[in-house]
Structures are given as structure tokens and as C-alpha cells.
Structure 1
Amino acid sequence: MSRNTKINLVLLLVVAALAVLPLALGLGDHKEEPFAGADAQAETAITELDPDYEPWFSPLYEPPSGEIESALFALQAAIGAGVLAYYFGLRRGRRQGEERAMARQEADDAGAVSAAGASGAEGA
């Protein structure tokens, strides 16, 4: 087994441990809702500090359930990842195209120089 393979396996185990251990050990103080978001935690903290607090704004759309809210959040993340992947792919493609064009230009220039040299040698 190569060194890179060993390193990759160790990194994979570390990532798996970081994902599984908090769930297995029940870390966190979320007894009612284990996967509550930051918004829900902030709302709870504000209500505890100031029970008479009135929010400044109300949501434009309130999903009917937490599952739909999670699905919309995942969709938003997927669209963002797609946009980033498209941008980086486009950038890489342009860079590769420019490198190919430069290599083609250098090859054409070298061919023109050698052709000029050959025609100059024939004339002498």
C-alpha cells in the first residue's frame, strides 16, 4: 500500500469519525430537537432573554413542515454548488484553451522560422 493511499484512508477515517461521533455520543444540548437550526436556537435565546420581544420582519414564505424547509435549504445549497462548479469549470476550460492556442502559435512560429531558414538555404 502506497503512502498516499494510507494518508487517504486515515483522512477518510477522521472525516467519518467527525460525522458519526457527535451523533453517537449525543453531544449538544438539543434534547427536544436534535437537529435544530441556528434560527430556532436564536429564537429560543431571544425569547428567554426578552419575552416581550417583537420581531421586526416576518418571513415571506413559511414552509408547512420542517422537512420541506430542510429540502428547500438542501436545494439552495445544491444550486449554489452547481453555480460554483460551473464557474470553476468554465475558468479552467478557458485557461486550457488559451494554453492550447499559445502552444499552437509557438508551433506555427517555429514552423515558419524553419521554413524561412530552408528557403534561405536553397537560395544561397
Structure 2
Amino acid sequence: MSKNTKIIVALILVCVVMTVIPFVISSGSKFGGADDAAGAIVEELSPGYEPWAAPILETILGGELPGETESLLFCLQAAIGSGILFYCFGFLVARKKYLKEG
């Protein structure tokens, strides 16, 4: 086994351990979103509070979106945002590279 192979195997093991440890440590924990926590605090501070705005898609569709659809839209938003961000990074790096050559 070469030195590079040993390093790669060690790094993979470290990644696996870093992925598994949080699940082992937090077994039995309740995972909740920030929206749920904020809603609970608002309800505690002002029991009769009525929201003055509603999400646009819920208004158009006439009901709450399923959790899978919300997750899909969130992932799509993250993918588009990261695509734009990294395209700009690549453009800046390439521009710098080609200005030096020219």
C-alpha cells in the first residue's frame, strides 16, 4: 500500500467517524427548525398573535405545501445560489489568469 493510499484511507475513515459521531451523541434529541422555535416563542410572548402575511405559494395554491415540496424548493434555491456564486468565482479567477497572459 502506497503512502497516498494510506492517507486517502485515513481521510475516508475520519470523514466516516465525523459523520457518525453526531448521530451517536445526539440520539434521542429532537431536531426542530428555526421556524418552529420562533413560532413557539411568539406564541409564548403573545398568545393571541395572528400573522399579518402568508407565504405567496400557500396563498396561490390555497393550502400548505407538503414538506417534500418545501425541501425541494429550498434545495433548488441553494443550488441556483451556489451555481451563481461559484460561476462568479470561476469568472474572476479566469479573468485574472487571462489578463496575465495577454
1:69: which partner in 2? 70
Matching of residue 90 in structure 1 with residue 86 in structure 2: no
Q: Give the superposition deviation at 1:75.
A: 0.5
Superposed, 1:44-123 pairs within 5 Å as: 44-62=40-58, 64-101=65-102
- SS of match in other structure, 1:61: helix
Unaligned runs of 5+ in 2: 59-63
Structure number with bigger Rg: 1
Q: Give the superposition deviation at 1:52.
A: 0.6
Alignment partners' CA distance in 1, 2:45 and 2:22: 28
Paired AA for residue 22 in structure 2 = P
> Which string of whole-angstrom CA distances, capped at 9 and with x for unpartnered residues, describes residues 83-107 of structure 1?
0111011111111110101xxxxxx
After the TM superposition, which parts of structure 1 deviate over 6 Å for at least 4 consecutive aligned residues? Answer: none
2:26: which partner in 1? 26
1:38 corresponds to which of 24, 34, 41: 34
TM-score, length-scaled by structure 2 = 0.70
Q: Give the superposition deviation at 1:77.
A: 0.4
Aligned length: 92
- SS of match in other structure, 2:11: helix
- SS of match in other structure, 2:56: coil
| C-alpha distance 66-39 of structure 1, shift in aligned 2 (>3 A) | same
Unaligned runs of 5+ in 1: 102-124
Q: Give the superposition deviation at 1:9.
A: 1.9
